[in-house]
Structure 1
Amino acid sequence: MHYQLLFCDEAGESHWREVEVPLSEQVFAPPAQDILVSAPDAAQAMIWLRLEAGWNEPIHPTPKRQLLICLSGRIRVTASDGEARDFGPGDCWRMEDTSGKGHHTCVTGTGAFDCAIVQFD
């Protein structure tokens, strides 16, 4: 299991990195059998978000550290260093570029892009 991390370096440039999520076998929901689970990551809020077809925003940093989980539709996100990643249903993007130049997002599909966002701050 993995997610795409967008982060900002000391010079204010944003970059991508794929992060593997470590899982360990644990009792999670007794009396069910053990399952593979990650360590918990404390969250503050969860929101639903829709970007309509044609959405194309200017470059900006993320307002909070957050994790986007794509439910439907497609987007392309370009880091300030020029590297782009495409996201569709089931893909996860963790935003930690809260400073610096930020990133650009546009809807690439013909329909709306729907997602759930978990905010950490």
Structure 2
Amino acid sequence: MNDGDGGSRLTTVALEQHETDLGPGVAPMLSTTPSEVVSIQFIDLLAGITIPAHPAPARQFVVVLRGTIEAEDTAGETRRLGPGDVAFAADIKGGHITRIVQHPARLMFVVLPDGAPGPA
């Protein structure tokens, strides 16, 4: 998240879910409310590299599909994310460092429209 002073901060966010009924004979599941998105992109990072400090290009969800990455904010706090983990990158004016801990890493980026609310 953007800390308001040009830096980035790592925070934990909760995705609100509700029970969804798909019909007779199908067990209910938990789902989030559908969101409009601008784009979706898959990126494979093939080497154990460090991506220097950079801002997120847009407010976006980052989903780790394979491998392990580590993100470091401008205060030096780090978080590791592995398969199935979801991050919300909103530091479009700040910056973060990304390290590929276990490669190959495959990430999915889901860009939200301008003005769309992010996670709670």
Within the alignment, does 1:46 sit opposite 2:45 as a pair? Answer: no
Contact 1:53/1:108 (<8 A) preserved: no
Task: Please name the residue that 1:25 is paired with.
Answer: 19
Within the alignment, does 1:117 sit opposite 2:86 as a pair? Answer: no
Within the candidate set 63, 71, 76, 2:65 is matched to: 71
Measure, in 1, the Cα distance between the counterparts of 2:39 and 2:97.
Answer: 23
- Where does structure 2 lack aligned partners over 5 or more consecutive residues? 114-120
- The 5 Å alignment of 1:85-100 reads 85-100=79-94
TM-score, scaled to structure 2: 0.83
Measure, in 2, the Cα distance between the counterparts of 1:37 and 1:112.
Answer: 29
Cα displacement (A) at 1:85: 0.4
Count residues in correspondence. 112
Deviating more after overlay: 82-91 vs 50-59: 50-59
* Percent of matched pairs sharing the same residue: 29
Contact 1:73/1:113 (<8 A) preserved: yes
Q: Deviations over 1:26-60 (max 9, x none)?
A: 33x33434322222221111111011222211101
TM-score, scaled to structure 1: 0.83
Q: What is the CA RMSD across the aligned residues, in angstroms?
A: 1.5
Measure, in 2, the Cα distance between the counterparts of 1:84 and 1:64.
Answer: 21
Task: Please name the residue that 2:96 is paired with.
Answer: 103
Measure, in 1, the Cα distance between the counterparts of 2:92 and 2:79.
Answer: 18
- Where does structure 1 lack aligned partners over 5 or more consecutive residues? 1-6
Cα displacement (A) at 1:119: 1.2
Q: Deviations over 1:56-114 (max 9, x none)?
A: 111011001111111111111101111000111111111011112x10001112x3111
SS at match of 1:12: coil
Q: Which amino acid is 2:56 matched to?
A: T
